[in-house]
Each structure stands twice: as C-alpha cells, then as structure tokens.
Amino acid sequence: MKDFVKVVKTRKSIRSFSDKRIDNKLLFKILELATFAPTSCNQQLWNFIIIEEPSIKDKLINIAASNTMIGKSPVLIVMTYDSWNYKEAIQAASMATNNILLASNYYGVGSIAINSFGSEKKVKKILNIPENQTICCFILLGYPDERSKNAQLVPRKPVDQLIHWNKFVKRNLVNYNYNPEDWSLMQLIDHQKYYSRKTYLGKEMDLYHNYEKDLIRNIIKRHANGKILDILTYDGSYLSEFPENSSIVCLDLCKETSDYSKESISLNKLKSNFSFEIYDKNKISPNHFDNVTMFFKAERLSNKLLNEFSHLSYDLLNENGKLIFVYRRNSFLFSLYYKTIKILFGNDIRKTGIYSFFGPYKPLKSKRLINILRKNNYNNIKEFRYFLIPPFYENLLQMYLQYKKSDGSSYLHRTKRENYLTRLMSKIIKKQGIRRSRFGSVSVVIASK
C-alpha cells in the first residue's frame, strides 16, 4: 500500500520529454492496466489509438489545431469511448486515463492528459475515428527530460476544504468573475496558488504584445533606476526589460507565485540582482526604493488593493522616488473588445482563458487610479497614453484563429498563424508603432512622492 500512496502522490503532468522511446512491451503493460478500470455493465468500450508518427501529429496540430505539445512527446494516445451514452463515455474513459497516468508513473514514464486536442471533428477525420466514438482526451507519454524531472509538484487544496458532510455547504471560496471588485485578497491568492500554477513554473502565462513590452523598456530606461520594487511580478514576463545591473525586489502575493517569478528569472537567465518578498500588509519591508513599478496588474486589482499598494509604495519610496504603473485602460477600442467578450462568453474568466491565469481583469479608468494616488499624497502625477489601436488586438486575432480552427476548444496556440487579416493587422499596428494618443489604450502613470 505504501507504494500505491507514493505512486499517486508523486504523479505529475510532464510537459517536456527526452528523446528516449518507450518500449512497446512497456506501453502494452501500461495500456493493459487501463483496462482494469471500471465501466458501466463491464462494457469496456474504450479504444486506445497509439500515435508515434510525427507526420500524423503535425496533421493534428496544423489541421485540427491540437495543442503543439503533442509534437514533443514520443507517444500520443488518443482515448476514445463508444458514445451511446456520453456520460458513460467520459466517465469510463477518464477512469482508464487515470490508470494510464498512474501506471506510467509507476514505471518511470512521464505522462499528461490534455483536452486541448482541438477540433474533435477534424481529429476524427484525420485518424479515421467513427462517428459513434467520443474522444475523451489525448494522453502524452514519454520519459521526462531533466527539467520536468525536477519540476515541483503543483500544490493541492487541503482536503478539509473540499469535504461536505451530508449536504453541500456553500463556502464561496472560488470566484471567476471578471470584475476585480468581486475578488477578495484571499480569493486572488487562492487562484494564483492553484489555478495559475496549472503548468510548469516559469512559463510565460500573461499575454503582451511586443510593442507593449517595448513601451515598458522605454519607460524603464527613461524613468527607472537604482533600487526597484516591482509589485506583482507574477510570471516575470517583462523582467527582461530591466537593464542588467538593476537591483529589483519582486513582490508577490504568495510563495507559489513568488516561485513562479524566481523560475522565470532562472529560465531566462536574467542577470539583475533580484530578491523576493511576499506581500503582507502588516509586515512592511524595512527597505527603501528609488522606484516602485507595476506592469499590467493595476487593471486586475480592486480599489481596496490598488489603494493598499499605492499606500505601501508611498511608505517605501525614497524622498525623490517615483511610482510607475503601466496598465490597459478603458479606452473606447479596448472597452469595446472587453464588452464584446463578456456578451459572447459570459462573466467567467475561464471561458475565454485570456486573463484567467493571474485572476480578474477589467480595463482601468485612469481617473480611478489617479484619485487613489492623490488620496495617498503623491505629487506631480502624470499620465501618458499610448496606442490608439490596442496592439493587443494582434494577440487577440491569433486567439480567435485558434478558437475557430479548434472549433471552440482552445484559444492559445504557440505558433503564429498567418493570413490576409493577420498581415493587414500587423501592418496597421506596425505603422502605429509606440505612438502617444489622447485616446490611447495603454496608460503610463508616473507619480513622485
């Protein structure tokens, strides 16, 4: 029994593999263990399609918009089940899937189940799967490479938070609304601890356009120097924009997110002098800073948190220190997109996947932030606006294309798709460049103490 607990507790999703092949005998042993899962009336109507051939995987990626990750594992298993009863198909095939994941772990083989397999219709056509089959998921198998071998296990919620005795008790712990005002600090922390850690540490999870990053670099070059406090570093996706010799304290909401920031710094081999802190309102750092920065996070915070971070920054800034916040504001064009998304997909950040990684999202009214800064005694508050046409639209177009191609099953595709519209959009955004505009969609707010 001890071994069983170990096998269960050490299983983790593997997303990068070594080139080593899995021996067929071992593969069959693993799949045989799948057949020991229960099925309704012992029907065992599952099928395991084994795919090793790279050209078939390429077809799945290019035609069915399957997750590009499938090209990186030596073996892909497509798990199907007779669809006479959809509920049974998903339930039984899921049980077999978990047997495969656990058996693989037992034999030292890495695995991951994914549902971002793209358009079910197109997958079926490519693989000759009959109409009467339901695709439950794709399972990738292979020996883990060094990086995934060393990857930490993702945290688990404490079981007592999940148990209900005799009847369901509404605990209201989870929130997926777009509006930051609906999120407590605890909910944000929980989201970042579990949901945001769903993939490997250090992976860039937030989406920015290159021009937005260029803007950050310019702003840093012009205004930031000395010792810097970066608030809510999260996935660290813009840290490479700081000059190499900077001294930066990364402030995050919890250890799990701080680990994320750390790993991103290590993966990108960044050379600044970094240190890390976890936010605690009651334990203020004794350090003082020349600058406090916050990039693309203000639009994700409630008034209360924005106020807390503005207040904290004021306390921590040196006499001539500057606060620099960059965020997407509620310009006409950006708000138009934001409202459309909510009309089409509803008020649940997971439905579009766009912002769900960090937490809530709402384009920020500059007036709101400036009022908060004024109340916190900042002087000389200046706002500069950029990008009348949000360059982020280019990222959104890519997402839309993935959404269309995968028949609504996923949004993110790591390779760029090209067509007439993407080229046109790219030309327009390029022509616009990093131009200031009164009605711009990205704001830079700089305030001094």
Ligand X SMILES: Cc1cc2nc3c(=O)[nH]c(=O)nc-3n(C[C@H](O)[C@H](O)[C@H](O)COP(=O)(O)O)c2cc1C
d(CA 255, CA 270): 20
Three-class secondary structure of residue 83 per DSSP: coil
- For residues 185 and 307, the answer to whether their CB atoms sit within 8 Å is no
Residues 144-163: x where in contact with ligand X by CB under 6 A, - otherwise, as a string = ----------x---------
Site for ligand X (CB under 6 A): which residue of 65, 75, 112, 201?
112
Q: Please answer whether residues 150 and 200 qualify as being in contact, where contact means their C-beta atoms are separated by less than 8 angstroms.
A: no
Q: Are 51 and 82 in contact (CB under 8 A)?
A: no
Which region, judged by CB under 6 A, interacts with ligand X, from 107-115, 316-324, 331-339, 393-401? 107-115
Of the residues 10, 24, 35, 115, which one makes contact with ligand X according to CB under 6 A: 115
Q: How many residues bind ligand X (CB under 6 A)?
A: 13
Q: Taking Cα atoms as reference points, which of 209, 210, 207, 211 lies closest to residue 235?
A: 207
The DSSP call for residue 37 is S
Q: How far apart are the first and last CA of the chain?
A: 62
- The number of residues making up the chain comes to 449
Cα–Cα nearest to 236, from 272, 264, 207, 276: 264
- Smallest separation (angstroms) from ligand X to the CB of 434: 33
Distance, CA of 46 to CA of 48 (rounded, Å): 7
Q: Are 99 and 169 in contact (CB under 8 A)?
A: no
Q: Which range of residues in 50-58, 108-116, 260-268, 379-387 is near ligand X by CB under 6 A?
A: 108-116
- The single-letter code of the amino acid at 22 is I
Query: Alpha-carbon distance 314 to 306, whole Å?
Result: 12
Tokens of 381: 């508050």
How far apart are CB 117 and ligand X at their closest, in Å? 8
- Tell me which H or E stretch contains 183: none
Least CB distance to ligand X at residue 357 (A): 12
262 C-beta neighbours (distance < 10 Å), count: 18
User: Stretches 33-41, 112-120, 181-189, 284-292: which one binds ligand X (CB under 6 A)?
Assistant: 112-120
- Per rule CB under 6 A, is residue 385 in the interface with ligand X? no
CB of 6 to ligand X, least distance (A): 14
As a whole number of angstroms, the distance between CA 435 and CA 429 comes to: 10
Minimum distance from residue 144 beta carbon to ligand X (Å) = 11
Helix (H, G, I), strand (E, B) or coil at 123: helix
| Site map 14..43 versus ligand X, x via CB under 6 A | -x----------------------------
Instruction: Assess 67 for contact with ligand X (CB under 6 A).
Output: yes
Considering the complex, state which of residue 145 and residue 182 has its C-beta at the smaller distance from ligand X.
145
CB-nearer residue toward ligand X: 242 or 355: 355
Looking at the Cβ atoms of 376 and 410, the one nearer to ligand X is 410
Q: Which of these ranges, 8-16, 298-306, 344-352, 434-442, lies near ligand X under the rule CB under 6 A?
A: 8-16
Residue whose CB is less far from ligand X, 101 or 316: 101
String marking each residue 198-227 x if it binds ligand X according to CB under 6 A: xx----------------------------
Q: Is 350 in the site for ligand X (CB under 6 A)?
A: no
Of 33-41, 113-121, 279-287, 330-338, which segment contacts ligand X by CB under 6 A? 113-121
Tell me the C-alpha distance between 171 and 203, whole Å: 31
Q: Which stretch binds ligand X (CB under 6 A): 46-54, 114-122, 127-135, 225-233?
A: 114-122
Kindly state whether residue 7 participates in binding ligand X, applying the rule CB under 6 A. Answer: no
* 355 token code pair: 């912002």
Instruction: Give CA–CA dist 231/253, Å, rounded.
Output: 9
**Rounded Cα–Cα distance for residues 334 and 328 (Å):** 8
> Judged by CB under 6 A, does residue 113 bind ligand X?
yes
Q: Which residue's CB is nearer to ligand X, number 184 or number 199?
A: 199
What does the alpha-carbon distance between residue 415 and residue 413 come to, in Å, rounded to a whole number? 6
> Is residue 13 involved in binding ligand X (CB under 6 A)?
yes
E-only strand ranges, 94-144 = 110-114, 133-142
Binding ligand X (rule: CB under 6 A), the pick from 89, 126, 137, 354 is 137
- Please report whether residue 412 would count as binding ligand X according to CB under 6 A: no
Q: Which residues of this protein are in contact with ligand X, per CB under 6 A?
A: 12-13, 15, 67, 112-116, 137, 154, 198-199
